[in-house]
Structure 1
Amino acid sequence: MTIFNDLANSRAAADEIDAIAAAYPLLSISREPVGTGPFQLVNFRPGQNLEYTRNEQYHFGTPAIEEMFLPIITDEVAAASAIQGGTVDWKYSLTADAFAQLENDPNVKFAEYPDFGYFGLQFNLRDGKLFADKNLRQAVAYCAQKEDIVNVATEGQGVPIYADIPPASWAYNPEVEQYGFDVEQGRALIEEAGWTEGADGVYEKDGQRLATEVLVRSGKPDRIAFMQLLSDELNSNCGFDMSIREVEFGTVLVPMLSWPHMQQGKTGNELEKQFDAYFGGWGTGFDPDPYALWHSSQCTTADQADTYNYICFQNDRADELIQEGLAELDQDARAEIYQEFEAILAEDLPYLFAWSDVAREALRTSISTTEGDLQLNSPQWHWELHNLTNTAAE
């Protein structure tokens, strides 16, 4: 057995890797890719468009459409106008403004479905932190009309959620705890945790006001609006003084989400304390495996500063279910496992789960399929791309 452990040889190998990396963009593979899909790239005009022709030997059958063009349009308004004008037949991922521009056009239809990502108010669960007390997490849920807040903040683009797996997923559990709006119950939980109402209406305990500041990513109007509305209701309904501060993601939030999770002060020059809560989101995939976000082993520490369970959620039964889900191959059985896991999260409230976006795509009404109706309420509506047809091109 030979072990490669020579520094000079290692450096030579590294130099060769760097040379290959530098040459890679110049290789034809980036402009003449080889694949097995339903369409083949025949022309790429950088900054302008891509042109495809159908793959006559496609293993699921010859595609119904002969040619496909992908224009490169970076402006959303211009892209929506192209749909209206008929020069573009399908626009993937619509902004709210583009949707408003197109929604009344009789020649346009929409694919609409819950996205796989989600947003929520994420509570730091470590001992000694404000929201380590489950009563306070539950009080936040009871003291605000979350569904109404989501609708206003997202301009109708968000679907309220109550656990980590969004409605788009095959593992979604629609029957978890939802904590309906109940100010009386919210106040009772706060008082059960030892807080008493102060002269100004804000609860107090041991000389400390029931107050916290939540950082929100700047430039995200839906997130900012949600937290503003939530904090207003917590203040007015339940004597919970929650304020928000808009901050930059790269310079403030990214460092805060790494151990030891110190929150930057308002002047930006000092680190005040470990954060109490943060409003943010996650993009998830088709497989709902929650290991990275929720398994106890992924709780951040000095030895693993950048794992994703930075709120340090720890639950023995949840860990067991996560492991069972990873080991199970049958999708129906996995769904049952993950639905029990969702029920644990929904009841324990490590996040105030807020919403999952409604994803929208615009299509000309000429787009159809050889296999019947398009299932436009599913994110997989176009997965049989070879069966799509376009009567406008006939």
Structure 2
Amino acid sequence: MYHVSKRSFLKLAGAAGTLAATPALVGRAMADTPPATARGQVVAGISQEPTVFNPLMPGSEYDQGIWWQVFSTLWHIDAEGRVVPDLAAELPTVANGGLSADGRIWKVKLRRDVTWHDGTPFTAHDVKYTLDLINNPDFRVRNRVGHSLLRNVTVAADDEIHWLLAEPFAPYMSVLSLTFIVPRHILSAAEDPNTAAFNSAPVGTGPFRWGKRQAGEYILLDRNPDYHGDGPWLERVVFRYIPDQTMLYTQFRSGEIDYLGLSGLQPAFDAEARALPGLRIVAAPAPFVEHIALNHAFPPFADKAVRQALYLGMNRVARLQAIYHGRPIETESYVPQGHWAYDDSLPRHRHDPEAAKALLDQAGWRVGADGIREKDGVRLAFTNSTSSGSQSREQAQQLLMQDWREIGVEMTIENMPGAVIWGDFWQKSQYQSVMVASNFLQGSDPDVTPRFSSKAIPAQGGNGLNTYQYKNPEVDALLDRGTREVDQEVRRKIYHRLQRIIREDLVFLPVSQSVIVEGVTDTLIGYKPNINASSNCWNLRSWYWAQ
């Protein structure tokens, strides 16, 4: 393991992983040790179905829960914010010659004992193929931020790869911590990697191998006996998909599910669950920010006065107390509280329906005969969507409808299964508004180029996650500066300014930073919440049953 130094470039690439909230190991006293041989299985209950199994393609945190098991990265960031080598034999640093002083020249040494699940040796050619595929304009990649700066990617030996960055890019160490490496020998043989059979039956180097998928029900992964790291200590893992969160909790309570995660335990079940024997209920701050995503290409939302009025009209405190029992942390930013780049001086939300009405009046949105405002023949009416089956969000939608009806705005609910909503509907900005929780960070770096750059709008041909279709030249310039700068204090000022613009523009309507309450069977050891990962399944390779 390597802790980044204060003055080097690597500090700026890796120190972003160190957050104030560092979760301690959760579970029994660790006198228990892993079994001599792997045994048993874990059934992980989730409320949304994983559907994207090529880890380079656009996917959700539910998909990431699968990626962490099947694939490996060059390195990852653990729960303490440390950058830990995985496929890399060591972290590249200035001291060991792996990084040039300006952070542009990289020489990465790789492990020699890694094989793909089909027995083929892993080499530097796989890393080069992965990086080249990400930059292939015909490939439907999640995003190319950082990777697009790659130049002269060269295989120096089977266990060493070199590249040059066109310019310094401080977040690249963090970006690579979430870049899963894919097999050249399989994907290069496919006619089109976008539609390759691999995308439905992936082959990786991770601790578990692809077993079976029953669409709409479960995904079964088997232990990889040739895994290059420690573990895994389980024979198999089953991700069971149960969209009804009442049923999900019922199966956890009855012991049919060993781990209830990602969507977490619904507030209505919290008190009962904590009183049940044999279960651990863990509240862990998460990097997800719950918000109302607004599609800025939808004409009413292009009007800043409308966005401001919606925010003033939203009774956020009442919603968090009534539905979530005050669990989440109110926020105005996309950066998690406790992160070194977080700006705690942003304007605080207030619920002021009269001010909202005045704003809309001034902007020319007049109340019509049916009580709904209109302007130039356009009614101030829109749909709001989220994944069906989430009782808490569905209740929140009902409250929002009432809040906004009071100021003359009509919201209708249009929910759909997770596998549908997070596909083209979300990725291609086919929505009007969406209730969603997002992790905006890149690994643990505060660069949000994929989220807010005008070049990262998928619906307009860009590669990224800017489904809001938001454009702002000053934001573009700040994003560019933030990735080129290597001084953390200078970067802090840049990202503070970015947060202020995003908040003032109300690109989205912020609600809260998530505190995910997850459940684990008491005799299951190794569960460790990690704010640097989008899924607390990140280290399933280390889980085992107490002996």
Tell me if 1:145 matches 2:301: no
Deviation string for 1:267-295 (max 9, x for gaps)? xxxxxxxx432222323442222110111
1:330-349 map, 5 Å: 330-349=487-506
Match of 2:349 in 1: 179
Contact 2:294 2:301 in 1 (8 A): yes
CA positional deviation for 1:117? 1.0
CA positional deviation for 1:354? 1.7
CA positional deviation for 1:344? 0.9
CA positional deviation for 1:218? 1.1
Question: Structure 1 stretch 184-193 or stretch 145-154: which is displaced more?
Answer: 145-154
Matching residue within 436, 446, 452 for 1:294: 452
Tell me if 1:162 matches 2:332: yes
The amino acid across from 2:457 in the alignment is C
Contact 2:265 2:519 in 1 (8 A): no
Inter-CA distance 173–76: structure 2 relative to 1 (3 Å threshold) = same
Q: Which runs of 5+ in 2 are unaligned?
A: 1-184, 211-221, 239-247, 523-527, 540-545
Inter-CA distance 351–302: structure 2 relative to 1 (3 Å threshold) = closer
The amino acid across from 1:296 in the alignment is S
Contact 2:384 2:433 in 1 (8 A): yes
Contact 1:168 1:379 in 2 (8 A): no
Computed over aligned residues only, the root mean square deviation of the Cα atoms, in angstroms, reads 4.5
Between the aligned partners of 1:81 and 1:276, the Cα distance in structure 2 is 39
Matching residue within 275, 279, 284 for 2:435: 279
Q: Which runs of 5+ in 1 are unaligned?
A: 1-9, 49-74, 83-87, 263-274, 366-375, 386-391
Query: How many residues in Structure 1 have an aligned counterpart in Structure 2?
Result: 320
Inter-CA distance 110–195: structure 2 relative to 1 (3 Å threshold) = same
CA positional deviation for 1:168? 4.8
Deviation string for 1:106-140 (max 9, x for gaps)? 999875442101221112223x7111000000000
Contact 1:247 1:253 in 2 (8 A): no
Tell me if 1:233 matches 2:403: yes
Matching residue within 283, 289, 301 for 1:118: 289
Match of 1:206 in 2: 376
1:234-249 map, 5 Å: 234-236=404-406, 238-249=407-418
Matching residue within 190, 212, 220 for 2:360: 190
Contact 2:387 2:421 in 1 (8 A): no
Contact 2:305 2:359 in 1 (8 A): yes
Between the aligned partners of 1:253 and 1:46, the Cα distance in structure 2 is 27
Contact 2:279 2:520 in 1 (8 A): yes
Between the aligned partners of 1:290 and 1:310, the Cα distance in structure 2 is 13
Deviation string for 1:287-314 (max 9, x for gaps)? 222110111111234534x631122211
CA positional deviation for 1:184? 1.8
Match of 1:33 in 2: 227
Between the aligned partners of 2:279 and 2:422, the Cα distance in structure 1 is 40
Between the aligned partners of 1:100 and 1:177, the Cα distance in structure 2 is 34
The structure with the greater share of residues assigned to helix is 1
Contact 2:252 2:260 in 1 (8 A): yes
| Percent of aligned pairs with the same amino acid | 23
Deviation string for 1:138-190 (max 9, x for gaps)? 00011121122133233433222222112253322222123311122111110
Contact 2:223 2:234 in 1 (8 A): no
The amino acid across from 1:355 in the alignment is S
Q: What TM-score, normalized to structure 2? A: 0.49
Between the aligned partners of 1:181 and 1:190, the Cα distance in structure 2 is 15
Between the aligned partners of 1:363 and 1:247, the Cα distance in structure 2 is 28
Between the aligned partners of 2:492 and 2:281, the Cα distance in structure 1 is 29
CA positional deviation for 1:221? 2.2
CA positional deviation for 1:32? 4.2
Between the aligned partners of 1:174 and 1:12, the Cα distance in structure 2 is 46
CA positional deviation for 1:100? 2.6
